[in-house]
Amino acid sequence: ASERNHDHLRALGAVPVTYGDGLVERVRELAPDGVDAALDAAGPEALRASVELVKDRDRVVTMIAMEEAEKLG
């Protein structure tokens, strides 16, 4: 998420992480054992990061990158 949305996300109970280069590493610092689920609304690059970070690939959802989702299984 962008920095401007972090306070709103915290208010919803989320732990915000700034997107962009180094996203996977930033998430791993917060969740070294992986995350429980991921929702991609950004596209193929974010989807690949999500798949890399989740414990169970069945718990990744994309709203945009359908072709990439098919490639990743």
**Which residue ranges make up each domain of the chain?**
3-72
Residue by residue, pLDDT tens for the chain (73 residues) are 899 999 999 999 999 999 899 999 999 999 999 999 999 988 899 999 999 999 999 999 999 988 998 898 8
Give the number of other CB atoms < 10 A from CB of residue 46. Answer: 19
- The reported pLDDT for the residue numbered 57 is 93
Which residues lie across from 35 on neighbouring strands? Answer: 54
Range list of β-strands (E), the chain: 38-40, 60-62
pTM, 2 dp: 0.80
Output the pLDDT for position 1: 87
Report how far residue 29's alpha carbon sits from residue 40's, in angstroms, rounded to the nearest whole number.
20
- What residues contact residue 58 under an 8 Å CB cut-off, 6+ apart? none
Closest CA to 16 of 46, 25, 26: 26
